[in-house]
Structure 1
Amino acid sequence: MRTALLSSLVALAGFATAHASEPLLDLQLGATPLKAEYARSPDERARGLMERTELAADRGMLFRFGDFRRHCLWMKDTPLPLSAAFMDEQGRIVDILDLQPLDTTIRCSREPARYALEVNQGWFRQHRLEVGDQVTGIPD
C-alpha cells in the first residue's frame, strides 16, 4: 500500500514538474508584457485553467483554435474569476469578456477569432487594453 501511494505521489510530482517546466510565451499587449501558457490541442483547450486556485498577476493562458470563427468559453470547474480577450488571426483583440468562477454559461466572441487569452479578471481594464489593441508574440 505504501509503495503504491509513493508511486502515485512520484507520478503526480513528475506531472506537476513537466507541466511547470513547459516554456511560457512572451506576449506583448500594448506596452504590457505577459507570460502565457499555450493551449493548442483540443485536450489542452478543454482543460484550460480548470481547477486552478490562483494565477500570477503577470500570467495567462493563450488558446489557439483550429478554425477562424466565433468561439465560446465557459468556466466549468474553474474557480478563478477571469477575463478573456478573443483575437483575430493577426492578434488584434476583437472582444473582451469577464467570466465568473464555476459558471457554466457559454460565452461567445462577437467576432470571428483564432485565439483567446485568459487572465485574471480585470487585467485588461487595469492595463487599459480594449478591442482593437494588438497582441504580439503569438506563435505561428
Structure 2
Amino acid sequence: MKLLLIAFLTFINSTSIELNQVRKLYVDAVRSKEACENLINRLNKIREDDALLHGYRGSGIIIMAKHVINPISKYSNFKKGRDILEKAVTKDKNNIELRFLRLMIQSNLPKFLGYKSNISEDLDFINENLNKEKDLQLKEFISNSLKNNKLK
C-alpha cells in the first residue's frame, strides 16, 4: 500500500513539474522558434484524454505560424492548431487554463483570420473564476499575462 501511495505522489509531482515546464515553453515559444518547436515536440505524444496539454499543443502550433515564412505554412499551422485548441476547450469547457490559452491566442491573432469570437466570453469566465483557482502558480501566471496583454 505504501509503495502504491509513493508511486502516486511521484506521478502527481512529476506531472505538475512537467506542466510548469510546458507553461515556461509556451511563454518562450512566442519569442523563439526553437522553444516553440520544443513545446510542440514535447506534446506530440500526450494522452488523448489530456485536454489541457492538447490545448498547449494547439496553441504552440498556432504560435509556430509566427515563426514560418511561407504564407501557406502559416495558414496551415493556424488551422491545425485552432482545431486542436477548440477540441480541447470543448472537452473541458470549465478549465480556466484552457480558456486562458484560447483568450491569449485570439487576442493576439490578426483580425482577418476570423478567430476572435470567444474573447469576451473567455475573459469574463477567467475574471469570474480566477479567485477560485487553488493553483497559486497558475493564478499568478494568468494574472501577469492578462496585465502584460492589457486584457484585465
Q: Same fold (TM over 0.5)?
A: no
Q: Which has the higher contact order (CA 8 A, sep 6+)?
A: 1
Question: Higher helix proportion, which one?
Answer: 2
Q: TM-score if structure 1 supplies the norm length? A: 0.38
Q: TM-score if structure 2 supplies the norm length? A: 0.36
Question: Higher strand proportion, which one?
Answer: 1
